[in-house]
Amino acid sequence: MIPGSEIKNILVEVAKNDPILGIIPEIKKDEHAPVKEGSVKERVVIVLPGGVDNGQLSKSFPRMCIYVPDLKEVDGKTTYYKPNGIRLAEIERHCTERFRSAVYGNHNGEVYLFGIDDINTENDPETWSTFLNVRLRFEVVNTKL
Helix (H) or strand (E) holding 101: none
More confident of the two residues 51 and 124 = 124
- Does residue 122 surpass a pLDDT of 70? yes
Q: What percent of the chain has pLDDT over 70?
A: 92
CA distance 20 to 27: 12
- Does residue 5 surpass a pLDDT of 70? yes
Contact 102, 60 (CB under 8 A): no
**2-141 belongs to CATH 3.30.1360:** no
28-68: per-residue pLDDT in tens?
Answer: 999 888 899 888 999 999 999 865 555 556 788 999 999 99
**pLDDT computed for residue 145 by the predictor:** 47
Q: Would strands 110-124 and 103-107 be described as parallel, antiparallel, or unpaired?
A: antiparallel
Contact 34, 127 (CB under 8 A): no
CB crowding 44-72: b at 16 or more within 10 Å, else e: bbbbbeeebbeeebeebebbbbbbbbbee
Question: What are the structural domain ranges in the chain?
Answer: 2-141
Which residue intervals of the chain are DSSP H helices? 4-16, 85-100
